[in-house]
Every structure is written in structure tokens, then in C-alpha cells.
Amino acid sequence: MRSWTPWLVASFLVLGGPVAADDRPNILLIMAEDLSPRLGAYGDEIARTPNIDRLAAESVRYTNAHTTAGVCAPSRAGMIMGVHQNHWGAGHMRAHAGGYVAVPPEDWKAFPELLRRAGYWVVNNGKTDYQMADGVTAAFGGPFSIWDETSGEDWRGRAEGQPFFAYLTLANTHESQVWPTWQPSIMGVVMAALRIPNHFSWDFETDPATVTVPPYYPDTPTVRDDIARHYNNIGNVDRLTGELLAKLEEDGLAENTLVVWTTDHGDGLPRAKRWLYDSGTHVPLMIRWPGHTEAGTVVDALVSGVDYAPTFLAAAGVALPERLEGRVLVGPARAAAPEYIYAARDRIDEQADTVRAVRDGRYLYIRNLIPDQPYVLDIAFRNEMPMMQEMLERHQAGQLEGVPAQWFRATRDPEELYDTESDPHQIRNLATDPAYEDILARFREVMDARLADGRDLGLLPEPELRERFWPGGEQPKTPKPIARYANGRLTLTAERGASIGYRVGDIDGWQLYSEPLELERQVPVEAKAVRYGWAESEILETLGR
């Protein structure tokens, strides 16, 4: 059927052709991976980041932005839905490893799909990773309805005059890129496709003697070498950022584009990535929106990963769903910062865990809900890092002492409280200090209320969560959409809040259905539906009548 040439379709349908000029802002989200605020704009004297620093000077720069998890998939899940990942079952790292994927309530839609429904062309460059795809490629898939394109390099595939949302991930600083160029392991070979060209494109090599070693690491050549490679990779991210911003200028789009530059969580280093300390959740964030943001402004108020969805939707003039848990950061609808923000750690790869965190502008409170296990669990991917291997060897030999040894204790403190101003690395737990009794009691009360409200699905045993989403271990299948014709108009409906895609004639790509279609007689139409977390429906084939 797809080989048929379509007859005339009503002109109001956007099928890849020109659309009317639109003065709504374009939105460009540049997200580097696994990177704390190691940028010149944030006072880092080692980083060479002239392009990012220039963007920061033209933007509002946030100094207290945090992700909702210290690892990619849960963090991205909270961001894409605008709801904390644990409130819709997406808290475990790569849910598919538990035999399911997250299934949000049927009326919930990811914010890029809402932008797409509003007429935006939405694109990402491959890394989705928001916990709604199955299999070994789960980081690069998800419901087809969310995106117009999922492997685009930029915004140039859109129709003329159409506003865009582009979510572009820069993977050069990913944890696996800190490994040596030639990593002698199976995983090192598997991850080499990006790492080798990434390393061979370094513009400079950082002198390991110049880097600062956080106090929770031993100061050794191995540790310094890993941190130095991290800085080399940051240089590549800076160069790519400059290329994207130059392309935006070249296309004449900079003045009507809201640009956000941030990262998916903190550094891809041990005791940073996967953890709820600032090293794992504190991220750089800058927002440039000409006419709406004042260049050079610095904001110290709390920002959470759930704030992006309402910010982008409000900028595009899309009504905000009531379920959103974040706030609008810029523009006419900008809202005040909350008193507290939250983060969570659940299963990490092959290791079960349950940790929750809440912070205000100064203090960080962490509750370890499985305190009888060590902090350092056996995680194969993390163990590829040379500095991690060295620390494990030193610990096993009884040679790890002082602050670095704290992380290797056999059991955890049930509660942790840190003054992030006087203790930026969170190495002095104040939970047992009588001088902080009142502050501890306040955070306990906040955490108790959050854990008791019944929304945190990460508190369920994972097999129970799997049964809730995929009964009997089988992924539910979305029912096929239903077609109805009246007065030359085709109406498509789907059950359980499923999103519908359609194709007319031989035009490529699934268009997102949002209103009845006006069709000439005998025009071939295909349609399919998907509920998030379920398998796609079978394809419906029909003809215009």
C-alpha cells in the first residue's frame, strides 16, 4: 500500500512541506553527559571551555541546579516527563534489566510530544534513555510518537518556518570516555567506537599534575590521569558546543531560540556518578533567551531536573499539565524556587539499592534505606575505570586510609546530613552532631512525609513493580486504532490514552495525529498507536472515502 502515490491532502496538514511562519521561540537543549560544573564559567581554572563560557556570559547562569538522580536513565526519565522518576516507576537504572519498562499513567505525555502536538518539529540525536524502551538498545529508543526524528544532528530537517525543539546530547564526556584510549577489556572494546575518535580529536592534553584531586580519592598518578582525560573530553564538548551555536547564528535563528546548556548528572567518576552527593547531582545550567533573560545574571536558587518540562512548554505557549512537579525557570510565567528539591537512587545496573535525598539551598540530607550493605557495590561498568580498580585493590590490601576509606566502609550511615557550604565534598556527616539536631529533625520530617505519601514506586520490590507494568512478565500490546469516516473526514481513536501516528500515501515518517484528516477518496492511510511502556499496535490500513 505504501507504494501508492497519494492524492491531494488538505493543505492544513503538515506532512513535511512548508508551514506558515511561526514567531514562537525555537528551543535548543544541549546536554553533555556525566559532567559536573567543571567549566571556566563556574570558576574551574583547569577547564578550557571558551565557547561554553561565552554562552554563559550571554545567559542566566544557575549555580544550584541538580538532577533527580546521579545516573543517566532515571535522571532523563524525570526530565522528559516533568515528574520525578520514582513517581511513575522509572527509578531503577535501565528498567528493562528488571524485565519491564516504565508505564506512566495513560494520560501522561512526554513534553516533546506535547510540543510536537503544538506544531513544533522535535528532534534528538539518538540518546533518549528515558526508561520506556526495551532491550540492549534501550538508551536509544522509546515511543515513536514523541519525536519527529531520533537521529538528527540538528534542527535543519524541519519544514520552513516551523519552530523546533532540538535535544542534542554530547557524549564526549561520558564515563566510558574517561577510560584509557586502549582499554584492555571486553567492555573497553565494546565502548571503543566513540572513545577512540573522541580521544584522537583532543585539541589539547591536560597535564595530570595540574588537576585538583577531591579528598575522597587517593592522590595517585592513576587518579590524576583519569581526571586529566576527563578535562580533555570537556574540551571536545566545548568545541562541539561552539559549532552548534555557530550553526544557529549561520541559520539566522539565534535571536528567536531559547538555548539551554546543561548535563544529565554529575561527573562520570567514582563516588560521583550514581550517587546523590553534589558530585553526582550538581550540574551546570545556563539559559539564553534573547528578550527574556539578562546576560550575565547569576541565580543561586534551587533548580531541579523536573523544571525543564514546564519551562519549555511555557515558552512554547503550551498549557502546563497539572501533574508537572517542576517550575518555569524563565519568561513571563517564571515561578519562585521551592524550599526543597529531591533525588533518588534505586537499583544501579546489577545491584539493588534504595537511597533518597532532599536538600534546601544549603543542607543535603540523605537516607540510606538499606544501611546494612556497603556503599561500594560490585558494579561491572563502573569497575572499568582505572582509578576505581586501583581504589578497590588498595582497599582489599588495607592500604586505603583517611577520607578515601570512608566510602569503602562495610555498612552505611542510616542518615547523612551535610552543610554544603562549609563541606562542598560532603565528607563530614553531621547527622550525629548535637549542634545540628534541629536541622536534622526538619529534614527527617520532610523526608518522612515524602516517603509516606504513597507515590514513590521505587519503594516497591522490583518484581512487584514489574508485575504491575507487565503482568505475567509480558509487555502489554496497544490495541489497533479505530478509523471512522464522516463527510470526507477521517477520525482516529485509540484506547488507554495511546498516542496515534499516521502516514498518508507514500510520504515517509509517522505523523502525530491530533485532529481529523480531510482526505480525497481512495487515498491510502496507515495508522498505529502506542501507549507508553506498551508494545506498538498492529498497523491499521484504510482508504479515504
Question: Catalytic residue positions?
Answer: 72
From CA 404, how far away is CA 417, in angstroms rounded?
18
From CA 156, how far away is CA 182, in angstroms rounded?
36
User: Residue 123: which of 55, 75, 169 has the closest Cα?
Assistant: 169
- H/E element holding 260? strand 257-263
Which residue intervals of 46-118 are DSSP H helices? Answer: 50-57, 72-81, 111-117
Q: What Cα–Cα distance (Å) separates residue 298 from each residue in 10, 283, 301?
A: 49, 14, 9
From CA 38, how far away is CA 46, in angstroms rounded?
8
Q: What Cα–Cα distance (Å) separates residue 112 from each residue in 6, 71, 335, 366, 538?
A: 28, 21, 21, 32, 24
From CA 222, how far away is CA 228, in angstroms rounded?
10
DSSP secondary structure code for residue 477 in this structure: B
Q: Grid coordinates in use for 12? A: 492544513
Residue pair 87/456 in contact by the 8 Å Cβ criterion = yes
To the nearest 10 degrees (0 to 180), the angle between helices 50-57 and 221-250 is 60
- Side chain identity at residue 175, one-letter code: E
From CA 319, how far away is CA 248, in angstroms rounded?
27
- How do strand 511-512 and strand 499-504 relate by DSSP bridges? antiparallel
Residues facing 526 on adjacent strands: 503, 541
User: Residue 110: which of 136, 88, 94 has the closest Cα?
Assistant: 88
Backbone angles phi, psi at 154, to 5 degrees: -160, -155
Residue pair 542/483 in contact by the 8 Å Cβ criterion = yes
From CA 159, how far away is CA 193, in angstroms rounded?
33
Q: What Cα–Cα distance (Å) separates residue 453 from each residue in 150, 327, 338, 458?
A: 36, 21, 18, 13
From CA 423, how far away is CA 138, in angstroms rounded?
37
User: Residue 430: which of 213, 441, 369, 356 has the closest Cα?
Assistant: 441
26: buried, middle or exposed (CB in 10 Å: 19+, 13-18, 0-12)?
Answer: buried
To the nearest 10 degrees (0 to 180), the angle between helices 308-315 and 72-81 is 40
For 123, the 3-state DSSP assignment is strand
